[in-house]
Amino acid sequence: MRFAGWCLAFTLVSPVSSWRLPLIISSDIAVNLTDPMFQGTYGGRKKHEADIKAVIGRAKAKGVEKILITGTSLKESKAALEMAKAFDLQCSAGVHPTSTNEIDKHPSGAKGYFKELTDLIDRDLGEEGSKRIISIGEIGLDYDRLHYSPQETQLSHLPELLLLQKKYKLPLFLHSRTSESHIDLVRIMKEIGWTTEWGGGVAHSFTGTTEEMKELVDMGLHIGVNGCSLKTAGNLEVIKQIPLDRLLLETDAPWCTPTASHASAAYVPPKDSHLAVQKVSKPDKWKEGLGVKGRMEPAEVRISTGSNDAAMQGANPHNKIGIIAHVVASVKGIPIKELAEQVWQNTVKLFYPHEVNGSQ
């Protein structure tokens, strides 16, 4: 997601043994680490020093071993790749629907823009490349914020963006906002002959209806859930219907923080629980070692401890699971351990197929 929430999808890996202490390792498949908030800038104003290293460090300390940085434009995809190299992470490359208006503004037009994008991917996937680009995205349609990019512009470039997956055989990271955009996205994917043989994909930050979810699942796609997916009672009803073998979990950091006004609030653990990252109330009150209220972090995908509710039954007391997973498990009425293991299987199958049984 972008602006109102970029994409950050996290996942939990299957339990592995570490001497006597069983662990559940996490993987965040869509973090907007290129967002200015992680450089201490909010709304164009510098509030504190960059703390991206600390943010990544907190995530690693909580078992978030893999983080996928989201690319949302040519410029941001380049930045995401450089950041992935610098911090030993992975990233996606693509053009968010609200950024498609910049494609035709390239000095060499749309053809030049796409050449630069494909050159970036080619170099990284080539023999001398870092091979850190593991997904095509974020791409799709967004009819909720047409002031960023008109509908016609989004539609005109979507087929070529989707066909990047056919070329590279990397999983799609899809964005769809509003039912109208869902209809057009599905139509165009079918028109170009899209198939899971191209590499599958995930419809991230899903906020659509049960019918829309089922249509995407029937196409072979996964469904990504984050705080924005848990706002209303209707959203929670959709969550109940998502097949467990198609579910992915995400934070979309720094966006999509669950709030007290969301339907998910009834399931969110207290602030002093092991789930919560300790945060200051405002950016200008930032202190080293602390997060910022309202700024989601990949560390918040971790497993909680000591819960006695039904969703936690079967979970090892030393494990820690994130807020989103806690809410989803509670809503679906299943043990955290079951959710974590299945979501990891889904994630490794889609984004890390070269890995077996949670090996790093």
Number of H-type helices and E-type strands within the chain: 9, 13
166 within some domain: yes
Q: Which amino acid is at 286?
A: W
Closest CA to 249 of 305, 352, 310, 328: 328
List helix spans (H) across the chain: 52-61, 74-87, 109-125, 151-168, 179-191, 210-218, 233-241, 323-332, 336-350
259 within some domain: yes
3 within some domain: no
**How far does Cα 261 stand from its chain's mean position?**
22
Query: Do residues 227 and 206 lie in contact, with contact meaning Cβ atoms separated by under 8 Å?
Result: no
| Total number of domains in the chain | 1
Query: Do residues 336 and 325 lie in contact, with contact meaning Cβ atoms separated by under 8 Å?
Result: yes
Q: Mean pLDDT over residues 234-258, rounded?
A: 94
Burial class (CB in 10 A: 0-12, 13-18, 19+), 192: middle
**How far does Cα 232 stand from its chain's mean position?**
20
Residue 247 phi, psi (nearest 5)? -90, 135
Query: Do residues 42 and 284 lie in contact, with contact meaning Cβ atoms separated by under 8 Å?
Result: no
297 within some domain: yes
- State the average pLDDT for the chain: 86
Q: Which residues have a Cβ under 8 Å from the Cβ of 98 and sit 6 or more positions away?
A: 2, 3, 142, 145, 148, 149
339 within some domain: yes
241 within some domain: yes
Pairing of strands 279-280, 291-292: parallel
206 within some domain: yes
Q: Which of 32-46, 56-70, 262-276 has the lowest mean pLDDT?
A: 262-276
204-225 confidence digits (pLDDT tens)? 999 999 999 999 999 999 999 9
Q: What is the DSSP letter of 262?
A: S
Closest CA to 77 of 140, 120, 128: 120
126 within some domain: yes
DSSP-assigned beta bridge partners for residue 279: 291
Q: Mean pLDDT over residues 76-98, rounded?
A: 98
pLDDT at 8: 36
Residue 305 belongs to what domain range?
Answer: 10-350
pLDDT band, very low/low/confident/very high, at 7 (cuts 50, 70, 90): very low
Q: Which of 77-86, 286-295, 304-313, 323-332 has the lowest mean pLDDT?
A: 304-313
Give the domain CATH number at 94.
3.20.20.140
148-203 confidence digits (pLDDT tens)? 999 999 999 999 999 999 999 999 999 999 999 999 999 999 999 999 999 999 99
CB burial of 61-94 (b: ≥16 within 10 Å; e: otherwise) equals ebbbebbbbbbbbbebbbbbbebbeeeebbbbbb
pLDDT at 274: 57
- Helices 109-125, 151-168: crossing angle, 10 deg rounding: 30
